[in-house]
Copies of this chain bind each other. A is one copy, B any other.
Amino acid sequence: MLKIKDIGEFGFIDSIKPEETVEDLKVGIGDDAAIISPYGEFDIVVTTDMLVEGTHFLADTDPFAIGYRSMCANLSDIAAMGAIPKFYFVSLGINPERDFNYARDIYKGFNSLAEQFNTHLAGGDTVKSDKTIISITLIGYVEKSITIERKGKIEAKDLVISVGPLGYSGAGLEVIKNKFDGFDELVKVFLYPYPQIIAGRILGQSKLVRVMMDNSDGLASCIENLVVKNGFGAILFEEGLFDERLKAIAEFTNRNYLDFVFNGGEDFGLVAVIKKDGFLDLSYFLEKSLFNNSVKVIGEITQNKEIILKRLDNSLLEINKSGYVQF
């Protein structure tokens, strides 16, 4: 076993340095700071996330999966801004007694997802820590004409749409915990979620988006931030949320499947409020552009400030406006 302490910080930095020159990266790993040269007409988008052993993962969790997942969380935030991910910076806290391959595999996890989006490691820090700590900062570009926030002007009759899975990650965890057979799609979203960068770009370019965020805290948080805090209500369609697989896992585990949808999170899809006019064309284009990820209309904005769920049997259920939604 090659220990972290045997190769030292600089040896470690050398081992994670990308070999090729990267466009727009004037100064990369190894200097006091990195220098990035953005295109002329772009804004710089920055997001950062921290994962800590004991809170977000365990000492024996697969390091590749940890790296993949933390990169996904950051990419998903960039997707929610309609931006293009470009560079990432990693601060890693690591125990010097750890196997070098453990740290390498975390970086392999980062890169396996980042490289799919042409996103490169550009710097970071490595420090001694008893427990593993990962802090990623991801930098992207977005056209100055596109600024997609959570807070914004929405209108009655606007649509609430969802891109990607909703509730799969939470249900996938139950599949693993309870060792249910099948349900590979749920498990895949839990283990290897997919950030909706491409959908975010298409939505951003469409100019139809009023407000958008990623669904990593569950649908309840999206509705609270995008609808309630912007001064409106919504009628949500259970038809757009219903999923046979979620329902099966919910039954096996004695829960309501809507609990996964509203409170689960960690799916790394997108939820947006968008203008109704033009949505049909957009959704056709989105469906054709995405890999295996559904775009669904899940609700409509109402002047009335309540959040109503229209059940499959057409009955109406008022649900909490904020926080955890009890079913």
Q: Report the stretch among A143-151, A182-190, A238-246, A289-297 that lies at the interface.
A: A143-151
Contact A33 B128, CB 8 Å, known A26-B43, A47-B123, A147-B27:
no
**Copies of this chain held together in the complex:** 2
Contact A50 B133, CB 8 Å, known A43-B26, A127-B55:
yes
A146 → B minimal CB distance (Å) = 9
Contacts of A37 in B (CB 8 A): 43-44, 144
Tell yes or no: A51 within 8 A of B by CB.
yes
Tell yes or no: A140 within 8 A of B by CB.
yes
Question: Hey, what's the 0/1 contact readout for A19-60 against B, CB within 8 Å counting as 1?
Answer: 000000011001111111110100111111111101110000
Question: Hey, what's the 0/1 contact readout for A64-99 against B, CB within 8 Å counting as 1?
Answer: 000000000000111011010001010111000000
Tell yes or no: A130 within 8 A of B by CB.
yes
Contacts of A46 in B (CB 8 A): 33-36, 87, 89, 122-123, 137, 139
Q: Which chain B residue lies CB-closest to A52?
A: B129
A50 engages B128 (CB within 8 Å): no
Question: Out of B49, B87, B144, which one reaches A125, CB within 8 Å?
Answer: B49
Q: In the complex, A40→B41 CA distance in Å?
A: 8
A31 engages B150 (CB within 8 Å): yes
B50 engages A91 (CB within 8 Å): yes
A44 engages B52 (CB within 8 Å): no
A107 → B minimal CB distance (Å) = 15
B31 engages A35 (CB within 8 Å): no
Question: Out of B40, B124, B213, which one reaches A40, CB within 8 Å?
Answer: B40
Question: Out of B31, B51, B135, which one reaches A50, CB within 8 Å?
Answer: B135
Contact A43 B35, CB 8 Å, known A135-B135, A147-B26:
yes
Known: A26-B43, A32-B214, A129-B133. 5 other contacts (CB 8 A): A27-B81, A36-B46, A46-B89, A50-B127, A89-B137
What are 27 pairs between A and B in contact, CB < 8 Å?
Answer: A27-B81, A27-B149, A31-B81, A31-B150, A31-B213, A32-B77, A32-B80, A32-B81, A33-B81, A33-B83, A33-B140, A34-B45, A34-B46, A35-B44, A35-B46, A35-B147, A36-B43, A37-B144, A48-B125, A49-B91, A50-B125, A50-B135, A55-B127, A55-B128, A133-B133, A135-B135, A137-B137
